[in-house]
Structure formats: C-alpha cells, structure tokens
Structure 1
C-alpha cells in the first residue's frame, strides 16, 4: 500500500486507564523501573516495559501475566523495601494476576468466589462429589458394594462406562468453554497485533521450557532468601508434564475403547497404563514440591491473600495424582470402590475449578508470551512516537 493511499479504518478498543489499586501499583512500579532499567535483561517483562511510557489497564494485565514471579528483580532492586519507593515488582504483579483471574473469568461470579475461598471451595467440592458418588454406589448395591471387590475386578464393575462418560463429559465441556471464553477476553483486551508462525514457535518454546523461571541469569528462582534455586522450575515441569501425561493416557484409552474396541482394564505395560503411572508419579511429586515451596516462600515474593486459592489448586492436583495411583494399586481389591469415588470426585472438582485459578493463569501466561513474541517483531511504540 502506498503511503499516500488511505488506510482502512481500524477497530478501536477503548483503553481504560489503571483504576484499581493493583493496576495503579503495577503502573507506579513500572514507571520507576522504566527510569532505572537495571533489570532489563532479567526476563520478558522488562523489555516489554521499555516499549511503553505509560501503563493502561490492558498493559498492566499483560505484564502481570508475563511475569513468572522468579523474584530475581526484587533481590536486585535498590528501591525495594524498606526504601521509600517500596518497589516490589513480584508482589505487585502477583496481586494483579489474582485480579485478572476474576476479571476475565466466565462467569465472573465464579471467578470472584474461587478467588476469595479457593481452598475451602476446592476441598468442599471434592469431598461432596466423592460422597455423592459413594452414596450412589450405596443406593445401588448397599453397604457391601462399597466394601468389596467389584465384579470383573475393575472400576467398570462399580460405574459402567456410559455412566462415567455422562458424568465427566459435561464437566470437561464446561472447563473448555469457560477457559476458552476467558482467554478470548484476555487476548482481545491485550490487542496483540498481527500474528506470525515464528512468534508462535518462540512463545511455545518459552512456555514448554519455562525459560523465564531461570531467575534472570539462569540460576533459578529466589524462594525464602537471596539464594538461587532451580527447584521451583523443576516442580513446575514435573507438575505440568505429569498432568499432560495423565491427560494423554485418558485420550489413548478413549481411542482404544471407541476406535479399536479395546475396553479397560489394560495390561500394566500398555500405553494408557504406562502414561498414567509415569504421569501420576510426576504429578504427585511436582504438586507436593510446589506446595512445599509455596509455604516456605518469602512473604515479599507474592500475594499472601492468594495462598488459599493456590493451595486449593495444588492440593487438588496432588489428590488426583495420589488417589489415581492408589486406585491402580487397588485393582481387584475391596478398597477399589471407595478409592474410585475419591478419585472421581477429585478429578471432577479439579476440572470444575480449572478456569478460575492457577490453571487459567497458565493459559493467560502463554497468551502473554505470544503477545511478547509478536510485539518484539513490531516497531517500537516509542520509536513510532519519535518518528
């Protein structure tokens, strides 16, 4: 297009100035950091910051989800508390991230409820669903049905396949719908610009490797003190890849059942069983590690108000993994019915709450990484303003 030709009108999205306390604090610390720039090479947040002179709500939300909370900038900052400027980037970003969980959640009321009472809600939902399933078994076969090995020696003797599908399909569909609508709202608000394949590849690699949990210099995160450690990165990797292996096991088992006509149970060395076992062990170790590190982390590194929500999510992940492994070991025993009810209740509670907490943040973070990769390939806003 010639510079003299009229350009087509662009869709204009109103830019809201930072108005909440969390948004205003991110804007304040970013303006101070933009003048200093000592941490410019630490992670993706600071290069993105330098492309801006002011920080509207959309910019603050984007930067907050781009932050991986490694803590390196807090320990390197000369203006950190107790300095009068009180610059604490990890804490400011963490508080605003918590706000984005409810701001972009669908429906918003559930996002606000989970943010306020995440641990209580996760525990109550898992226990109530497990009790509901146990009562269903009791009603069909009496107390003996809960305390003896099921017919056929596997969980289909407790809950038929079609019943499990009818229970889990709506919950899974709800999680996908709510997450999809949430990330769509976040993406439209962020105004990422034109996409490109190389930007998507770069962002995917950064997300899968957790590049920005390297602490700015690749030595790891700061947890309870100034010492660097890679344990947080390792625990995140174990949790994520364990979860994905368990999900892959379910997908393969579904293919076996519907595509090949091979119903469960499967042999110990079958693909679904191997994926589920390795994934369950990895998920259990990773979530336990994240919970331990979360409890030991220095108060200045994050938002203490979000601890119940964070621990609720971590606890559900651990319960799903540990109950799944126990269920596998209980094959053909009298403990199987109760363990199955506990495992299914935990899985349903996990998927019902996925769109409203840390898992949603993981999706928003990938979107923020993609926006960062796209933005790096565009002319700087400041340069355009100078031109």
Structure 2
C-alpha cells in the first residue's frame, strides 16, 4: 500500500516503492530516459532516486498507461512521487548550506521577494531621483540612465545575477555528488553533446513520441511546444542583452535603441516567446489531470511562470511607454521584477532546469558506458 505521510522519509519510501514496481513491470520502458536508467538498477538507493526524480520530465504518460495506478491496490503514481522527491532535492542542495531545510517551495516567497525588490527600488528612486527626472520625458541615447544611472542599473542587476549563478552552480555541484560516482572512463564530449541535444529538443517531454497526457487522456505536444517557446524566448532576451552590451561598450551606442535595431528585435521576439510560453503552460496546468500532480509543487510552478510573464510584459510596456512621462515609473517596475526574478532563481522552481541537465548528463554517461561494455554481437 502507498504511504500517506508527507514527511521526507515517507516521500522517499513511496518513490522507492513505486520505482521498484515499475522496474518489475517495465511496461513503460520506451517512454523516457527514466525507465532506461531504472532498468539498469536492480535496487533503488537514495542516490539513484535523486537521479531518476530529476531525470523525469513530468510528462505523466506513464501514469495514464500504468495498470497499477489508482484505483489499483498498488496505487502507483510515479510522476507525483518523483515530483515530491525533486522538490525536496532543491531544498536539500540549496546554497549557502544554512538555507537547507529552511526553504519552502510554495511560491509565495518568490512572489514576495519580487514585490519587495520593486518596492525597495521604487522607494530608493523616489528619495534619490528628482521628480522632474523621474516623471519627465526622456528621449534619445541614454534616456534610461537619466532616471537610473547605468552604474546602479548594471551593478544591481549584474551583482544579483552573479550571486544567483554562483548559488546555482554550487547547488548543482552538490546535487551531482549526491547522485553517486559517475561512470569512469567515459568520454565527456559525446555525452555532453547528447545531453545538450536532449535538453534543447526536450525529447523526454514527448511521452515516448506521442506527447503528454491531458485531463481527457488525449495525447498532445502542447506542453513541449510551450516549454520551447519559453526556453528560447529567455535565450533570445539574454542574446538581446548581450548585443546591447556590445553596442554600449564597444561602439558607444547607449540604450534605448531604435525599434528595428538588433537588441530590440531580439528582445521583442524573446518577450513574445516568454509571454506565449508562460501563458500556455499556465493554461495547460489548469486543464491538466490533477491526479498525477502533487499539489504542494504547483505554487512554485505558478510563481516562476508569473515572474517570467511579468518580466516580459513589463519589458513590452517599457518599450511602448519610452519617450513618455510614464517611462521612469515603468523602468523602475521592470527593473524591480527583473531583480526579483534574478534573486530567486536558486531558490525556486527554476532550479529544476540545471538539475535536470545534470541528470541528463549522468544518463548520457551511463548510456555511453553501457554501449562501451556491451559485448560484440
């Protein structure tokens, strides 16, 4: 019978029970990399469970195909069990270490952190920036910096982002060690190439090729497409920032840039992808079958989607209002949301992305080692 307690030990025991039943059944072997990796394990230890949980892309196809899912007495619900293990893995590998066990991935702290960043930045601007500058009309190169100086804007955003990248890197390194020793003697480059391909295509979100299951049991690639729109939208926005940095530092061209300049075009395409991806994923979450979903993880999911949506929406609003008296307040709102997003990256649902890439790399290395050790036909 499944465990009903929601303590970490009970969650781990339930996930191990489900994985052992899946390993005995092996009906879902073709669905994703989880089952191939599981098949090579006779027993599922703690390190294996962390690896498999973060390798899971939560397409939920295995739940709808499972003959042992509720109302069967075994009540196997692998997507739900692994999502709870993933959630605890983010907390257990948080950096700095004193945060471990103290974080709660409910989504509320993420939204409150973003709101706090907006309020603090706005309050500081109202104290430091003259009203005629804050609410004035500014146009031409350097217009943004007449409201918030470049040194402050770049220093705040860059400092917070660097801290978050450091925290994410340390968390991922700790998670990598927790998965146990990596296969030895495996060339890293082929495994890394396979990992990047899997991450870029989200192959494992395809439910074995047919797509994810929805509330009505239908198969669809909609979640995969929305993830692609969001991922590549964010990538285009970072590309826009990189090009703008080159414009400023190498060519001496200050923002804001013309509507048809490369930074604005890249940022607009990226923002559109972020809006479409976040809105689509939120809608799909609302329509999804709730049975294979752990309710405790949905808050963090929505919080990240909301922050990403607001980042893109406020960026478009700033683009439309520049040159007007509303540019100053909108600039503060956009910067505050971006700072809140950057600050919470290591402590919210975003952490699933680097953890999943690490698990994909470990799976690729295992497949390389398996192929190398396979006897010739």
Question: Does the 8 Å CA contact 2:147/2:328 hold for their aligned counterparts?
Answer: yes
* Superposed displacement of residue 330, structure 1: 0.9
Q: Determine helix, strand or coil for the equivalent of 2:71.
A: coil
* Superposed displacement of residue 365, structure 1: 0.6
* Superposed displacement of residue 110, structure 1: 4.3
* Superposed displacement of residue 117, structure 1: 3.6
Distance 1:141 1:373, change over 3 A: closer
Q: Is 1:280 the equivalent of 2:267?
A: no
**Partner of residue 352, structure 1:** 343
Q: Is 1:211 the equivalent of 2:199?
A: no
1:82-136 superposed Cα distances (whole Å, 9 cap, x missing partner) = 1110111111111111111101111245465553442x22222222221222222
In 2, Cα distance between the equivalents of 1:110 and 1:226? 40
**Partner of residue 94, structure 1:** 83
Q: Which deviates further from its counterpart, 129-138 or 198-207?
A: 129-138
**Structure 1 stretches (4+) deviating beyond 6 angstroms?**
none
1:50-106 superposed Cα distances (whole Å, 9 cap, x missing partner) = 111111111000000111111111111110011110111111111111111101111
**Partner of residue 286, structure 2:** 295
TM-score normalised according to structure 1 size: 0.89
Distance 1:295 1:160, change over 3 A: same
TM-score normalised according to structure 2 size: 0.91
Q: Is 1:231 the equivalent of 2:219?
A: no
Matches within 5 A, 1:367-378: 367-378=358-369
**Partner of residue 50, structure 1:** 39
In 2, Cα distance between the equivalents of 1:205 and 1:144? 51
* Superposed displacement of residue 285, structure 1: 1.1
Q: Which deviates further from its counterpart, 123-132 or 366-375?
A: 123-132
**Partner of residue 20, structure 2:** 31
Q: Is 1:193 the equivalent of 2:177?
A: no
* Superposed displacement of residue 161, structure 1: 0.8
> For 1:128, which of 107, 116, 123 is the aligned residue?
116
**Partner of residue 3, structure 1:** none
**Partner of residue 332, structure 2:** 341
1:267-310 superposed Cα distances (whole Å, 9 cap, x missing partner) = 22221111101001111110111111122222222211111111
Q: Determine helix, strand or coil for the equivalent of 1:378.
A: helix
Question: Does the 8 Å CA contact 1:220/1:230 hold for their aligned counterparts?
Answer: yes
Q: Determine helix, strand or coil for the equivalent of 2:369.
A: coil
Provide the alpha-carbon RMSD of the alignment: 2.0
* Superposed displacement of residue 374, structure 1: 0.7
In 1, Cα distance between the equivalents of 2:119 and 2:178? 41
**Partner of residue 243, structure 1:** 234
